[in-house]
Structures are given as structure tokens and as C-alpha cells.
């Protein structure tokens, strides 16, 4: 088992810059999840609103989905889900790059709650997929 040697002031400053970089990546990733989930919510929520508005005006039979609102809802839900998936891939690549730059081939230190953001992204993607499937089934 290797002993931890005391860090010099320069080593501490460089390590803190790594921590700040990782925290910035986490913050940016959470923002992308928020944007993607907002698109999912807009897509799923707009279907009920737009369909109810058009149905309330008597333009089509009650209970049937209007095609423009359905297409808009499916599109927004798909784009939001895709955005989160792309952000997750980008986040993992950037974390790997930053860790390799800081630690080289040495073991990488873990930050507290490091996987929390990824779990949030997977949950949001799950909600997006379920919403998309529900919109496909609704007629």
C-alpha cells in the first residue's frame, strides 16, 4: 500500500484546479439535463394542452389527438431525450480527458456523490422514453 506524500503548494493548487474543473463539468452537465428535461416536459405537457384546446373548440372529436399537437409533442420529447443522451456521452468523455490529464496512469480520486449526475441523466432519459412511448400510443 502506497503512502500519501504531503503535497507541495504547487501540487495543491494544481489539484484544486482539477477539482474546480470537475465541478464545472458537473454543473454544465446538470444544465444540459435541465434543458433536455424541460423539452420533455414541454413535449408531454403541450400535448394535453394543445389537444384540449383544439378539442374544446370542437374541431375534432373529443378524445382524439390532433396531428399537429401530437407531432410537436413527439418532436419535443424526442429532442429532449436525445439532448440528455448526447450530454451524458460528452460528460463522460470530458471527465475521462480531465482525469487522464491530471492523473495519467495513476488511480483517479473520486469526488463525493460522483455518479449522482449520471443517475439523474439516466432517470430523465427513462422518463423521456416513457413519455415518448405514451405519446405514440395516445390517439
Q: Is the pTM of the predicted complex or chain greater than 0.85?
A: no
Q: Which residue in 41, 125, 132 sits closest to 91, CA to CA?
A: 125
Q: Per residue in 27-80, pLDDT tens?
A: 999 999 999 999 999 998 888 777 665 555 555 555 455 687 888 899 999 999
Confidence of residue 2 (pLDDT cuts 50, 70, 90): very low
Amino acid at each position: 500500500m502506497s503512502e500519501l506524500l504531503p503535497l507541495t503548494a504547487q501540487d495543491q493548487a494544481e489539484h484544486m484546479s482539477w477539482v474546480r474543473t470537475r465541478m464545472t463539468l458537473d454543473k454544465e452537465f446538470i444544465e444540459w439535463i435541465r434543458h433536455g428535461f424541460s423539452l420533455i416536459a414541454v413535449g408531454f405537457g403541450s400535448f394535453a394542452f394543445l389537444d384540449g384546446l383544439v378539442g374544446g373548440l370542437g374541431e375534432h372529436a373529443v378524445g382524439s389527438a390532433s396531428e399537429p399537437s401530437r407531432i410537436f409533442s413527439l418532436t419535443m420529447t424526442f429532442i429532449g431525450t436525445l439532448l440528455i443522451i448526447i450530454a451524458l456521452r460528452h460528460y463522460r468523455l470530458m471527465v475521462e480527458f480531465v482525469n487522464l490529464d491530471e492523473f495519467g496512469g495513476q488511480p483517479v480520486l473520486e469526488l463525493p456523490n460522483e455518479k449522482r449526475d449520471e443517475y439523474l441523466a439516466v432517470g430523465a432519459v427513462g422518463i423521456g422514453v416513457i413519455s415518448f412511448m405514451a405519446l405514440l400510443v395516445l390517439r
